[in-house]
Amino acid sequence: MFLKKTLRISVALLLMGVILVSCGEYHKVYRKENVVDKYQMAESLYEIGKYKKALKLMEQIVPVYRGKPQAEKLMFMYANTFYSLEDYYLSGYQFERFVTSYPNSDSVEIAAYKSAKSYYELSPRFSLDQEDTQTALEKLQAYVNQYPNSNYRLEANALVKELRTKLEQKDIETANQMLGLGDYLGSYTPAIESYDNFISDHPGSIYREEAFLGKFKAGYYRAINSLPNLRKTRLEEAKEYYNSYLKYYADSERRAEADELLTDIDLRMAQLTEGSTVPIN
């Protein structure tokens, strides 16, 4: 028991000594002017995943090595260090610079992919501004187009699909909000326009039925809240929106929602017909 305890203490002391020596060596290299030593230590630290320490050394020597033979490897490590530290703004930028500077490099394809994926990592949740999402989508699509046989093609396509769905979710949510604000704004026309834009911009979306149904609902509420001289025309327009919905989703489980509103529309139109006394609930 005593021997085991002594052995554990000895190992701990040895490891502590190694750490202290290595830390001392790092600070010594960091402070001196020898860029070769800095490069070698940065590379060693990079290889074992000590990215923060490696980055401090790289930041000192990157300007010195530009244009030199070692620059290609150093610049890739530099970009990938930012990526590993999850600083995706800088990794996206540095990988882009690498692709531009070393188009014939063996690492150019992975650099292009990691540049695009850096922008993907910056994409926020759908409820926030989607400028970064749009940028990421463009970068990933450009990558897929340029490297159609890449080993990363399937993953890139999956990321493209995810980002497109996020943009669709953002747009359908915006349209739904416009529908909800119809009474407050005194108009449902903006909601109709939002749904129209969605249908035009996202023809294959999983939210396509929701857009058609939402447009019909917006048309219905606009019609029943219209001035008397506009009501008949807008009821007819709402029926057209219903027919558009029915064209694609006649067998949908949500058709009952649409049919209920259509029944009310027919009753209101009958009441507007001269001499009609059909009551409306």
d(CA 97, CA 262): 58
Q: Is residue 195 part of a domain?
A: yes
Q: Is residue 156 part of a domain?
A: no
At a CB cut-off of 8 Å and minimum separation 6, what does 4 contact?
Answer: none
Q: Is residue 252 part of a domain?
A: yes
Please give the pLDDT value at position 19: 40
For tokens 């327009």, name the residue.
Answer: 237
Q: Is the distance from CB of 130 to CB of 170 less than 8 angstroms? A: yes
Burial status of residue 275 (CB atoms within 10 A of its CB: 0-12, 13-18, 19 or more) = exposed
Please give the pLDDT value at position 34: 84
Please give the pLDDT value at position 129: 82
CB atoms within 10 A of CB 129: 9
Q: Which two tokens stand for residue 72?
A: 């290609």
Q: Which two tokens stand for residue 202?
A: 């996202």
Q: Is residue 245 part of a domain?
A: yes
Q: Is residue 256 part of a domain?
A: yes
Q: Is residue 237 part of a domain?
A: yes
DSSP letter (8 states) at residue 69:
T
Please give the pLDDT value at position 157: 96
DSSP letter (8 states) at residue 158:
H
Q: Is residue 268 part of a domain?
A: yes
Q: Is the distance from CB of 150 to CB of 113 less than 8 angstroms? A: yes
Q: What is the mean pLDDT of each run of 10 residues along the chain (281 residues)?
A: 47 38 75 87 95 96 91 97 97 97 96 96 87 94 94 95 95 96 90 97 96 98 94 96 97 96 96 62 45
**Of 71, 138, 83, which Cα lies nearest the Cα of 110?**
83
What CATH code is carried by the domain that includes residue 217? 1.25.40.10
Please give the pLDDT value at position 14: 39
Q: Which domain holds residue 258?
A: 168-273
Q: Which two tokens stand for residue 246?
A: 């029915």
Please provide the size of the chain in residues: 281
Number of domains composing the chain: 1
Q: Is residue 159 part of a domain?
A: no
Please give the pLDDT value at position 274: 62
